[in-house]
Amino acid sequence: MTVKQISVFLENKPNQLAEFVKVLNENHIDMRAMSVADTKDFGILRVIVDDTYKTACVLKDAGYICSITPVLAVEIPDEPGGLTKLLTILGENGVNLEYTYAFITRKKETAYMIFRVEDNEKAIEVLTKHGITPICQDALNEL
Amino acid sequence: MEHYYQPEIECASREQIRAWQDERLVHTVKHVYDNVPYYRNMMEEKGVTPADIKSADDLHKLPFITKDDLRDAYPYGLLAVPLSEAVRIQSTSGTTGRRVVAFYTQHDIDLWDDCCARAIMAAGGTKDDVVHVSYGYGLFTGGPGLNGGSHKVGSLTLPMSSGNTDRQIQFMIDLGSTILCCTPSYAAYLAETICERGLQEQIKLKAGIFGAEAWSEEMRQDIQNKLGIKAYDIYGLTEISGPGVSFECSAQTGMHINEDHFIAEIIDPQTGEVLPDGEKGELVFTSITKEAFPLLRYRTRDICVLSHEECPCGRTHVKMTKPMGRSDDMLIVKGVNVFPSQIETVLLNKGYPANYQITVSREHNSDKLEVQVEMTPEMFSDSLGQIAKREEELIAALKAMLGIYAKVQLVAPKSIARSEGKAVRVIDKRNLY
């Protein structure tokens, strides 16, 4: 019940992101979501794509350093307060978030949150108990 | 008026200097041959015995000694007196692998202090001065050397050591320091800070003795203008004694080498051939009065030129230019000796590739050392915290090895140029030479 995220090392200098996106474009890879965490000198680019395996191969060939991380993707109503319930559940059950980012899809009124937590199993258990089911890779691919 | 600490020596005739050198060289060669097996082996390998060395003219017959020898002989292999006679150890910056230790008898320290006293008096120092020593104290020779010299002159000595700029300036004002001894970059930093705070009027400095790193004529002018002082250069190395091997006089056109203690030669670094006066080459020193740690023909790796031209200050000892470069890849950063190979060792030990780039620059008169390292799949992590932690570990390991802070920058794989042939590992933006 996790989805695969690709994390890529990028230097913090002009044109790095453009070059990266060009590689995806040339290989007809579609991004579902993207987020960048940066420090002064470098950044970690995190993407959810339609074909994780192909993307990893393409990036490796292009000389990028990347890794695949299982993260949680949760559907939430795209309206004020939509996130509150979810975060409260995680918080009250001691699930610490390392990072998170959001994306929306063509499907109306629904947003998705990506969560990176220390213990995926525990987070899934907590969420399921409260009637929330993280989506799996196949479901994500169909979005 | 020119001040001398030992005028009869500093202004001696060339014949007299030559006579001292002849006699002292012969004695020193016999001393090391008799007391240091390492030297005896080296000389035997070259087929030389003390009997072959009758005067300074025979100096070229002796083998060179290098930093590698000093490391091989670490720790006590080159000690030429019984342990009971030695009273002090000093050491160069660097690591276990690269560390060099030097030994002194009380007599050695006396002579070293004399050399520094000559430098202080050449800078106009007298017993009425307050000598502010902001060189580091400890294994580094800077602090102890100038401290000893100042005592010999009879000046009031302020053993400040390095760092804590606020306190340095406060003491300078309160105690009326007149001569400042520190690295030129620290002098420039102090000068800048004093000007920024508008304290020039409260500073009584008249001269500065600045060494242990390369500095340009522009930097000299800048320090002189800002502090309203005369800034003098001083040269030395732990292996030979410490600061005061040579020093600048009022002419400020090169440093007089204390030739009654050290014989200087200039050689072609490739062939080892001795070069005539005025030619640029590697400086080689033979210490002829040291008891505990005499070195015969020590290759300094510093490139410079010697001049016997008459000096208006009245001193007769040969002058050397500021070092104009190195014949090896050693860098001097913040007065600390840094070899690229030390950085490479740390990287390899920590699992990073040997492909790296060292950049040295100078910002606000302070040296900056930066090491670019390529990211590897093994080192990469999805977590910024993880990467930051590894980066910190690397910085700590570099600090332990080098003794100074080096900024680490992680860069993309294959982004550091692969050179054909000799890798360009170092970019020095300081334009020192």
Residues of B with Cβ-Cβ distance to A39 under 8 angstroms: 384, 388
Residues A16 and A47 in one domain: yes
Residues A51 and A11 in one domain: yes
Residues A95 and A54 in one domain: no
| pLDDT of B88 higher than 90 | yes
SS3 content of chain B, % helix, strand, coil (to 5): 35, 25, 40
Residues A80 and A91 in one domain: yes
CA dist B275 to B282, B305, B308, Å?
A: 9, 10, 14
Torsion of CA B347, B351, B352, B355, to 10 degrees: 80
Residues A34 and A75 in one domain: no
| pLDDT of B110 higher than 90 | yes
| pLDDT of B60 higher than 60 | yes
Tell me the fold of B7-327: Rossmann fold (3.40.50)
Quote the ipTM score.
0.86
The larger pLDDT score, comparing residue B157 to residue B351, is at B157
Looking at residue B423, its pLDDT comes to 58
Nearest CB neighbour to B384, from listed A11, A44, A65? A44
What percentage of chain B reaches a pLDDT higher than 90? Answer: 73
Task: List, for residues B387-405, the tens digit of each pLDDT value.
Answer: 989 999 999 999 988 888 9
A28: domain range? 3-69
Task: List, for residues B185-212, the tens digit of each pLDDT value.
Answer: 889 889 999 999 999 999 999 999 999 8
Give the mean pLDDT of B375-387.
89
CB contact under 8 A, B383 and A98: yes
Residues of A with Cβ-Cβ distance to B355 under 8 angstroms: none
Residues of B with Cβ-Cβ distance to A98 under 8 angstroms: 383
Residues of B with Cβ-Cβ distance to A101 under 8 angstroms: none
- Euclidean distance between CA atoms B101 and B295, whole angstroms: 13
Comparing B78-87, B192-201, B342-351, the range with the smallest average pLDDT is B342-351
pTM above 0.80, yes or no: no
Task: List, for residues B267-315, the tens digit of each pLDDT value.
Answer: 999 999 999 989 999 999 999 999 999 999 999 999 999 999 999 999 9
Token couple for A70? 């299982």
| pLDDT of B118 higher than 90 | yes
The nearest alpha carbon in chain A to B385 belongs to A98
Neighbouring residues of B145: CB distance < 8 A, sequence distance ≥ 6: B112, B113, B116, B135, B236, B241, B242, B243, B244
Residues A89 and A106 in one domain: yes
Burial B45-65 (b: 16+ CB within 10 A, else e): eeebebeebeebeebeebbbb
Are B179 and B207 in contact by the 8 Å Cβ rule? The answer is: yes
Looking at residue A89, its pLDDT comes to 92
- Euclidean distance between CA atoms B412 and B372, whole angstroms: 10
Which residue shows structure tokens 């915290």?
A: B385
DSSP letter at B276? Answer: P
Looking at residue B106, its pLDDT comes to 98
Helices (H), B47-164: 67-72, 106-122, 142-153
DSSP letter at B85? Answer: G
Give the mean pLDDT of B12-35.
98
Q: What are phi and psi of B251, to 5 degrees?
A: -70, -25
In chain B, where does the domain assigned CATH 3.40.50.12780 lie?
7-327
Token couple for B241? 């004694």
The rounded mean pLDDT for chain A is 91
Torsion of CA B311, B242, B132, B189, to 10 degrees: 90
Task: List, for residues A93-110, the tens digit of each pLDDT value.
Answer: 999 999 999 988 777 678
| pLDDT of B420 higher than 80 | no
Task: List, for residues B29-56, the tens digit of each pLDDT value.
Answer: 999 999 999 999 999 999 999 999 999 9
Looking at residue B417, its pLDDT comes to 74
In chain B, where does the domain assigned CATH 3.30.300.30 lie?
332-428
- Euclidean distance between CA atoms B413 and A63, whole angstroms: 7
CB contact under 8 A, B388 and A63: no
Q: What are phi and psi of B257, to 5 degrees?
A: -85, 135
Residues A97 and A133 in one domain: yes
| pLDDT of B75 higher than 60 | yes
Distance from CA of B186 to the nearest CA of A (A): 28
Task: List, for residues B208-262, the tens digit of each pLDDT value.
Answer: 999 988 788 888 998 999 999 999 999 999 999 999 999 999 999 999 999 999 9
Looking at residue B414, its pLDDT comes to 80
| pLDDT of B421 higher than 70 | no
Looking at residue B366, its pLDDT comes to 84
Q: How confident is the model at residue B94 (pLDDT cuts 50, 70, 90)?
A: low
What would the CATH number be for the domain defined by B332-428? 3.30.300.30
How many independent structural domains does chain A possess?
A: 2
Residues A85 and A44 in one domain: no
CB contact under 8 A, B384 and A39: yes
CATH number at residue A12: 3.30.2130.10
| pLDDT of B95 higher than 50 | no
Which residue shows structure tokens 């140029």?
A: B417
Looking at residue B337, its pLDDT comes to 84
- Euclidean distance between CA atoms A19 and A45, whole angstroms: 13
- Euclidean distance between CA atoms B320 and B283, whole angstroms: 9
Chain B residues bordering chain A (beta-carbon distance below 8 Å)? 375-377, 380-384, 387-388, 409-415
Residues A46 and A107 in one domain: no
- Euclidean distance between CA atoms A21 and B411, whole angstroms: 19
Nearest CB neighbour to B377, from listed A5, A39, A65? A65
CB contact under 8 A, A42 and B414: no
The rounded mean pLDDT for chain B is 92
Residues A41 and A75 in one domain: no
Residues of A with Cβ-Cβ distance to B409 under 8 angstroms: 41
**Averaging pLDDT over each range in A37-41, A79-83, B17-21, which range is the top one?**
B17-21
Comparing A70-79, B104-113, B139-148, the range with the smallest average pLDDT is A70-79
Q: Which one of A69, A86, A108 terminates a domain?
A: A69
Are B199 and B415 in contact by the 8 Å Cβ rule? The answer is: no
Residues A75 and A63 in one domain: no
- Euclidean distance between CA atoms A66 and A46, whole angstroms: 9
Residues of A with Cβ-Cβ distance to B375 under 8 angstroms: 9, 42, 65
- Euclidean distance between CA atoms A131 and A129, whole angstroms: 6
Q: How confident is the model at residue A7 (pLDDT cuts 50, 70, 90)?
A: very high
SS3 B51: helix
**β-bridge partners, A9:** A44
What percentage of chain B reaches a pLDDT higher than 70? Answer: 97
- Euclidean distance between CA atoms B304 and B108, whole angstroms: 26
Residues A55 and A93 in one domain: no
Tell me chain B's radius of gyration from C-alpha atoms: 23
